[in-house]
Structures are given as structure tokens and as C-alpha cells.
Structure 1
Amino acid sequence: MLPSEMADYLRVIRVERGLSANTITAYRQDLTTFSKFLDKQKRDLGSVDHLLVLRFLNQLRTAGRANTSIARMVTTLRKCFAYLKKEGVVAHDPMQTIKPPKKAQHLPAVLTINEVDDLLAVPDVEKPLGIRNKAMLELMYATGLRVSELVHLKLTDLHLDLAMLQTIGKGDKERIIPVGEVAIDWLKTYLRDSRPKLLKGQQSEAVFLNDHGRPISRQGVWLLIKNLVKAAGIQKDVSPHTLRHSFATHILENGADLRIVQELLGHSDISTTQIYTHISKKRLTEVYDQFHPRA
């Protein structure tokens, strides 16, 4: 159980900052882990000092937590204790001298255009689920939608006659995204020929349904893509987010402006988008090394 003061903090940031449910869940998990540590140490929030926090972080490191996970924990505790001090729950903020571990530079996996073609060719479009899978993959690659945005997509969000769709991203920010002709054609085929069969007489506003006629889940999309990647013979660790990375990388490589990519992906900070320029440079180096006679 979380201390009531930490539970209050989560309620405040959900209402005032409009953070997504996934972000709130991550914060809750971090604070719950820290709260359990305090219980074992027989300490309350008011007695927490920087030495106790360091002992906690070292315990996480010893348990094999990655630097990224520990860095997120530091961020969570820093924001929470700043709130607790402001509210007078604690007299001193123990996080002021705590620095997060440096993050290792990690470039996400990206599919080549040939690998994308191989993946898109896997679904059996003679079957209703195959048509759905084809439409989903085409839409994800055409728009760079997050999987959470995909599964929450509603029929009223589609404006196919205008070649557009609208979605609500992180921080409840709405954005309008253009959709390419191929993805539109497969979406129309799915909506006309496949979705009514999956509905089985039920009612749903969700665009993409599972074989029980209910909205497909994040886990369902994740498992589906894992199976399709395996069937395509792709030897990479691919997740739904990989199609988003591939979308961004490929349009950058074909000359898109970084600010446009930022807008399409719904990034609030362009520094987040700049990871894709690093990917492009890495791929450029790989091509050079492969084909230049004196590389």
C-alpha cells in the first residue's frame, strides 16, 4: 500500500498535468517499490534522507535493474519529494543531491524497407483476420501511430476521404496525421469486408477488433506482430514501436524535415525526435562500409 501522501501526489499529477494512464501506472509502480523498501527499513517519509535513497538505489542496482530503470526511479522520486516538501509533508527534500545514472546511448531497432515489405506481405488477406492484420500494419507504418493510439482509434477518428486521421497522444494532445493511399485502401477493405464479420452483431466504436468482436488490446497487437515478424523470417527484436521507429527513419532518409517528423510523431520536444537522425547516420555509415571499395 502506498502512503496516503504519495497516493495524493498521483491524483494531483493525473488531474493537473494530464499524464497518460501508462505514465501514472509507471509512477505508481516506482513509488510502490520505494514504499516497500521503507517498510522493510521501518522508516517513514519524514525520516528519509539522501543516504537512505542512495542505499535504495544501490539495492536496485544490485538486483540487476538497468540504468534506464534506475534513472526513471530517480525522476519519479525527485518529482514526488518536491511535491511532498511543497505540501509540508517533509521538511527536507532528500533528492536534491541525488543524480540519476547516465543513460547509455541506445538506438532503437529499425526495419529496412525490404523487411517492412516482407512483414506486410505475411497476412493472409483471404481471411477476415488477415485483412485486419494487413490494414493494421499498413496504418502503423504509414502514420507512426503508437500502439496505445492504434488500439484506442475510433471510427469517428477516421477521415479517409480527406486522407487524414485524428488521435489523442501523450499528455492528451490531439494531432492530425495524413494517411497514404495504400493504407487507406486496406482500411476501407477492412471496414467493408472484415470488420462486420468480426463484430458478430455486436456494437463497437473501436476501429480494430479481435476475433471476439471486442477492441484489440495492446498485448494482442504485441503478440500479433511478434508472430508476423517470425513468419516473415526477420531476425530482429521487433515490437509494435519498431514500426513507428521505421516510419520516422524512412521518411527522414527520404528528405523530410525534422520538425515535420516531430509533428507527425507527436513529440513535445524535438530532442526526442533527434534520435532518428542518429539512426540515419548509423545506417549511412553501414552502407558506406558495405559498398565503398576502400572502406
Structure 2
Amino acid sequence: MDGQSLPTSLQAAVEGFRRYLEGERARSAHTLRAYLADVESLLGFAVQEGISELGQLELGSLRRWLGAQSEAGMARATLARRAATARAFTGWALREELITTDPAIRLQAPKRDKSLPGVLQQQQVTRMVDDLNTAAGDGGPLAVRNRAMVELLYATGVRVGELAGLDIDDLDPDRRTLRVVGKGNKERTVPYGVPAALAVDDWLRRGRPALATPTSGPALFLGVRGKRVDPRQIRAVVNELLQALGDTSATGPHALRHSAATHLLDGGADLRAVQEILGHSSLATTQIYTHVSVDRLRRSYQQAHPRA
């Protein structure tokens, strides 16, 4: 059942929650869509149980909603997010006095699977960049753009949405830093190295002018029609490069973010400095990369030491 099929009072609650997320919480468009889809799923399930008013929502309905999705094979991470959305929604409804008690206050989500992120070896990154340099030397503006995007992704560890959202003025070429607006509209400054600086400069000199149109605006990276590059286009570029390597299971731009963080820590970077670079609000999120580094160290030891 979609949002338009909900009873009027429940649909009004969804719209109120939307305004709250857009205004006070300043959520990204992607997060907004996910939250609203979760709420509509919850309320659609509740309607099927005979609920027509928000005040009729009970903890049992919430648990059965999550249970039905778990039985359908939904991943633990998604179930955890949906439980968090439910708590955020009912908490908002309580503050708005749409309900008198919060039915989700005791709602427990399944623990997330603690899987380590896919990480490239440094020589794999080198091979990827070598291929990009060859393509950029012989190819057109898109090849020049792709090299600059990948160099910047790996150099800074920014998220794919953050890269797509960069404007030219966000770059400080003299200091080799860029200004990034991350989750929750939090701004941070991230350094990048000489290879990324050279690739971006090449893109600005001979790549971007070939694609820019009067409507391109200040966007740093452009698509083939001159509009701001879409995150999906970036994912497609990176996935194709990773598949071409042939010896990694890593996928997507997030693999470059994971790799940047792991390689920084392998090189002796301070954990809190890496946290600041990645834009993590919690140090615990950054600490997963220490586990990745230890894991790689253990594998190397077992392969190399005669008495491992």
C-alpha cells in the first residue's frame, strides 16, 4: 500500500513528518525517500491490521511489521534502519501531540551484521589509476573527468553524493583542500594530494569546458549533457573500473572510501584525523577500519611467517 492509499489522517501524518525531515532535520533527498518509504510501509501494514488512526498504533503492530519483513528475508541492516525510522516517526508524532503515548519506545531492532567493507590493495589502486591515465591521455573529456573523479574519491574518501555535489568554488587549489557538505548539512574541509590536484586541474582546463553549457552552473563535475553529474553515473564508472581489475570483490565508490581510510591508518594516520576526513559523527564508525587493517596484517603474517 503506497502513501496515496492511506486514510486521510495517516496520510496527513506522513506529510507532516516529511516537512519535519525537510526542515528541522535537513535530511538528504536519498535519506528522505528512505524514511518516508519506511513510514508508508509501516502505516500500510497497520491499515491491513484494521488501524485507521495514528493513536491506535501499538508496539505489537510495530513488532509484527518488522517480523513480517524479517520472514521475507530483509537484511538486518535494513530492518535496523526501519526500526529507527519507526522510533523517529512516533517520537515526532508524540511531540506534535498526534498521539498520547509512544508505541515504539521499547521497539528493538535486530543487531546489524558486522561485515568488514571491501578494500582495495594499494597496488590495485595504482593499476586502476594507470588505466585512467592512459584513457585520459588518449580520450575525450569524459575520460579526463573519470580520472579526476576517481583520483578525488580515493584522495579524500568523500561519499559519492558529496563528490557529485561539489562546486568549483569548493576547491582551494593553493592549499589542496576541498569544502564538503556531508550528512546533516555538516561542512568539513578535506585535504587531497598532488595526483588528484593534477587530475582535477586537467579536467578544469580541457575536460569541463568541452562539456559545459550555459546552464551548467558552478557544478565541478558534469555529465555528457553538461548538467551536474549524477551519483549513479559515478557508480557506473567506478564499478566498471573495479570489474576491469578482475581480482577484487570490492564494488562501488564506497570501496574507494573504505580503501582511503584503511590505507591512511595503515600509513600511521591518527584515528581521529581519519574520522574528521571521512565526516563520521562517531569515532566508533571509523574504528571498523582498524579492524580491516588488523585483518590484513593477520593474513599477511599467516602467509609469510614460517611458524604461523
- 1:145 corresponds, among 139, 150, 158, to 158
| CA–CA separation in structure 2 for the residues paired with 1:15 and 1:200 | 32
| CA–CA separation in structure 2 for the residues paired with 1:41 and 1:203 | 50
- 2:201 corresponds, among 188, 195, 208, to 188
- 2:260 corresponds, among 242, 247, 264, to 247
Q: Which residue is equivalent to 1:197?
A: 210
1:215 aligns with 2:224: no
SS in 1 for 2:179: strand
Q: Which residue is equivalent to 2:22?
A: 14
Shift of 1:201: 6.3
Contact 1:122 1:231 in 2 (8 A): no
How do 1:102-113 residues align onto structure 2 when only pairs under 5 Å count? 102-113=111-122
Contact 2:14 2:40 in 1 (8 A): no
TM-score, length-scaled by structure 1: 0.95
Aligned-residue CA RMSD in angstroms?
A: 1.5
Shift of 1:78: 0.9
Contact 1:262 1:270 in 2 (8 A): yes
Contact 2:120 2:248 in 1 (8 A): no
Contact 1:9 1:83 in 2 (8 A): yes
Q: Which residue is equivalent to 1:33?
A: 41
| CA–CA separation in structure 2 for the residues paired with 1:83 and 1:215 | 35
Cα-to-partner distance string for 1:11-66 (whole Å, 9 max, x where unaligned): 12332222222222211111111122122222132111111111111110111111
| CA–CA separation in structure 1 for the residues paired with 2:216 and 2:17 | 38
Cα-to-partner distance string for 1:197-239 (whole Å, 9 max, x where unaligned): 1226664311111122221101111111111212232431311
Give the percent of matched residue pairs that are identical in Structure 1 and Structure 2: 38
Mind listing any 5+ residue stretches in structure 1 that lack a counterpart?
Answer: none
Q: Which residue is equivalent to 1:68?
A: 77
Q: Which residue is equivalent to 1:167?
A: 180
The count of aligned residue pairs is: 295
TM-score, length-scaled by structure 2: 0.91
| CA–CA separation in structure 1 for the residues paired with 2:283 and 2:72 | 34
Q: Which residue is equivalent to 1:230?
A: 243
Mind listing any 5+ residue stretches in structure 2 that lack a counterpart?
Answer: 4-9
Cα-to-partner distance string for 1:72-129 (whole Å, 9 max, x where unaligned): 1111101111221232222322212221111121111111101111221223012121
SS in 2 for 1:3: helix
Contact 1:261 1:273 in 2 (8 A): yes
